[in-house]
Amino acid sequence: MPHLARLLAQNRDWARTMQEGTPDYFSRLATQQAPEWLWIGCSDSRVPANQIVGLEPGEMFVHRNVANLVVHSDFNCLSVLQYAVEILRVKYIIVCGHYGCGGVKAAMEPENHGLVDNWLRPIREIAWLHQEELVSIPDGPSRRDRLCELNVLAQAIHVSDTTVVQEAWRQGRPLSVHAWIYSLRDGLIKDLGYRVSSPEAVENFRRR
């Protein structure tokens, strides 16, 4: 129990500090959230979405799962996406992976990890698709890092292909999808160059 008590005590300290800094902080946040960004990231505890991009509560809508996957039959992720795009009207969707992702590593290993292997299956498919490039990278960690990048790019394409995003573009709404990757080593994010805001741009990226 002392471990949990510590969290609750820290919460009280935090709430007091925020209130002292800005007296209407909570009343303002409680009545509205108007985030411009949707973040789809990994559940990894070392990649806290808001914190690494310097955003406060209320500024970014967040969905996280193991290995930042966007699966077309995952109602959880799709519901977050729909709410973010249709109700909150976010302008930017960022899929952010990270180097050294345990999910990506597990997907490449031959051993059985149980249930999670089903979830990670799409990453194996990505590895098969890019097998030629991946086998040309001699050392294991670099090969895994490249697969982390390829996974983020694939998931950003999945986001772009969803009915939610396609419909927003059909209506001519400003909405762009981005693929980023975070390094646990230096805390820096790299833009993987996927910046797409129309169905044509997705096709162009696919054809590269």
* Residues of this chain that bind Co ion (CB under 5 A): 42, 44, 101, 103
CA–CA distance, 177 with 114 (Å, rounded to integer): 32
145 catalytically annotated = no
Catalytic residue, candidates 77, 96, 101, 148: 101
CB of 153 to Co ion, least distance (A): 15
Closest Cα partner for 77 from 93, 100, 98, 56? 93
CB of 64 to Co ion, least distance (A): 9
101 catalytically annotated = yes
What does residue 41 show for φ and ψ, rounded to 5 degrees? Answer: -135, -175
44 catalytically annotated = yes
98 catalytically annotated = yes
- Decide whether 154 or 175 has the Cβ nearer to Co ion: 154
- Decide whether 152 or 165 has the Cβ nearer to Co ion: 152
Dihedral-angle region of residue 58 (phi above 0 means left; psi in -120 to 50 means alpha; beta otherwise) = left
CA–CA distance, 195 with 95 (Å, rounded to integer): 11
CB of 103 to Co ion, least distance (A): 5
CA–CA distance, 71 with 41 (Å, rounded to integer): 13
46 catalytically annotated = yes
Q: What is the largest CA-CA distance in the chain?
A: 58
- Decide whether 29 or 189 has the Cβ nearer to Co ion: 189
- Decide whether 152 or 157 has the Cβ nearer to Co ion: 152
Catalytic residue, candidates 16, 46, 72, 121: 46
**Residue positions annotated with a catalytic role:** 42, 44, 46, 98, 101
